């Protein structure tokens, strides 16, 4: 997850365009653990990041999201999508929408009408730290939150036999 954090917060690094392999569970945890405060939205993904009222487009309009090709979901930034209505072209190019999809589209349109972009960089917030910055320790705790602990390890690692010298 550390590389995912670096990919978000240090987008100018040369390795950020590399497709890094990660377990789907780790990617899912990362996706729900980070929220973006919108700035110039140059490194925030339109379709998959949590930037719109703390939600993803996927959660606000799942039917619309389902029609967007994966290559566009992974690359389209908010800045690109809002410029000249490119997000509308993404939806148009995916084909027709059902009635349910049209309802989601209209709700999404209303949300996007009030978006104002700022001149500063996007601010990504890691929700498991008070500082908002990622730490491996907090990620590890979040990953294993709710799991059963095995406290008898203390007995297993302590030997009752005397040292032989």
What ranges do the domains of the chain cover?
2-157
User: How sure is the predictor about 32, in pLDDT bands with cuts at 50, 70 and 90?
Assistant: confident
Q: What is the pTM of this model?
A: 0.68
User: How sure is the predictor about 140, in pLDDT bands with cuts at 50, 70 and 90?
Assistant: confident
CA dihedral 42, 46, 49, 55 (to 10 degrees): 120
User: How sure is the predictor about 20, in pLDDT bands with cuts at 50, 70 and 90?
Assistant: confident
DSSP string, 2-30: HHHHHHHH-TTSGGGGS-----HHHHHHH
Distance CA 98, CA 106 (A): 12
């Amino acid at each position: 997850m550390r590389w995912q954090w670096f990919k978000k917060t240090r987008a100018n690094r040369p390795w950020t365009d590399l497709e890094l392999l990660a377990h789907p569970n780790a990617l899912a945890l990362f996706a729900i653990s980070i929220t973006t405060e919108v700035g110039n939205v140059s490194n925030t993904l339109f379709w998959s990041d949590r930037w719109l009222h703390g939600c993803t487009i996927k959660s606000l309009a799942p039917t619309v999201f389902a029609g967007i090709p994966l290559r566009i979901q992974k690359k389209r930034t908010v800045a690109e999508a809002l410029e000249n209505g490119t997000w509308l072209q993404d939806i148009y190019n995916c084909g027709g929408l059902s009635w349910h999809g049209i309802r989601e589209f209209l709700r999404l349109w209303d949300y996007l009408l009030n978006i104002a972009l700022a001149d500063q960089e996007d601010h990504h917030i890691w929700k498991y730290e008070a500082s908002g910055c990622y730490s491996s320790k907090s990620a590890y705790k979040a990953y294993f939150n709710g799991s059963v602990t095995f406290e008898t390890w203390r007995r297993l690692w302590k030997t009752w036999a005397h040292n032989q010298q």
